[in-house]
Amino acid sequence: MGDLEEQQDELLALESIYDSSVLSIINEADDKGGQFDAKPHLPEPFYIQSDPIEKGCHSKEDNLQKIQYLPPVTLNFQLPIDYPSTSSPEFTLTCKWLTHKQLSKVCKRLDELWEENTGTVILFTWINFLHEELYDFLQLSSPLDIRNIVSNRTGKSVTTSSSSSVIDKSCDLRCIQDIESQDWLLVAILDYDSQMKTDVFNKSVFLCNVCFQTKPGSSCFQFNPCCHIFCRECMRDYFEIQIDDGNVQGLICPHDKCESEAHPCQVKNLVPEEKYSRYDELLLSLSLDMMMDIMYCPRRLCQCPVMLEKDCNIGQCPSCQFVFCRLCKLVYHGLTPCKLKANELKTLKDEYENADSEGKKLLEKKYGKRIIEQALEESITREWLENYTKPCPACGFHIEKADGCNKMTCTKCKNYFCWLCGDSLSRTNPYSHYNIKGPCTNRLFEGMENEFDFDDPNFDWF
């Protein structure tokens, strides 16, 4: 069999073994070659160690990132005319996260494999080594330290700790670091890991725990960090109901006792545009409500968010220029305590009595101690009047019954009225009210049993 036939058969065999997502073949008469993306198998769990992402990270654990996938080591190969009888395939190795020294070591190993199998097809052996044995061959381990990986773009020099460049003659020119700079390495790895997780998820099949139907991953929705999975159709209906009800905090995982929340980006990709617009507005409004230095303009036709200065009770709307008090939301009144309506005194009294120390200080600052004391006093007075007096039906003046019968005389307007039913009595014969048929018949002296014995034959009625 000639070289060209062996090349043809080898490329066809590789295409039948590997998926097109990792292997691409050029199989033309005068141009035969291809590319293979070797994806080493990583142990679980697997971490990479990088520079701290946030300031203040000092321990080793602060700069560890958990991943499942590393970007591939790419083998580009070209088959010469006299392969495999005489010449080895021409190749380059491309990788983002291996150093030039490590890539050179791999190149040397590929050369050794060819020397051990000269005269026979070698591509499958190379590919199998890169795919299955690379991790152990380079003695990689978790966490993988990716600091100081990227050397100068020439591929012929490395950067030392003193930031000076020296020529490293051990580097193979067939090695290519496919990354712009060290600063972009972590981002590239995390982006690839995220994309691979998405691809694997979309190709998998899951059972929705709402409708109990089996759906492909591309039709499913996953909450993080709980990883509970439901179909997109069920979650879309669920989210739309919550948004219509104004419950933007209710977009949580429906799994029992799970509190994972949907990310706004997930909501945007799931619900119609008009629903997301409402969700976004409600979410912004909720966030502003939780900010102590933000409040809305009190004018109903404005409602523009207003930034308030710390420890300052005055606010000015940037839209309508309305100047108001942040405490009572009325026109700013300077050092004068906030005005309080009479019917709000009882509410203020209840709120003050149930508040903690910080709440009481805020109410005292808002209304002033004098108003608080007035609310407490008026509440006590009102409760006493309700329990021990009754208003005159003619003038409304409160009358206290100390003793005597149920025919009362208003001390203010001299009107007669019944203590039991509150009705006004006749000016000429007020006692007739207790003789005629009605709810107060024979009840003139009701409530006086402890003072008088009405069954005593010697009791003088009149």
Give the Cα separation of 419 and 405 in Å (integer): 9
From residue 93, give the alpha-carbon distance in Å to each of 321, 336, 414.
66, 79, 111
Sign of CA dihedral 185, 71, 28, 114: positive
Give the Cα separation of 85 and 452 in Å (integer): 135
- Written as six digits, the tokens of 50 are 């990088």
Which is catalytic among the residues 226, 328, 338, 405? Answer: 405
- Written as six digits, the tokens of 239 are 């989210």
Q: Is 395 annotated as catalytic?
A: no
Contact 438, 449 (CB under 8 A): no
Contact 415, 404 (CB under 8 A): no
End-to-end CA, the chain: 144
- Written as six digits, the tokens of 157 are 């020099």
Contact 48, 64 (CB under 8 A): yes
- Closest by Cα among 311, 315, 334 to 323: 315
From residue 268, give the alpha-carbon distance in Å to each of 47, 206, 224, 240.
31, 22, 16, 11
Catalytic site positions: 405
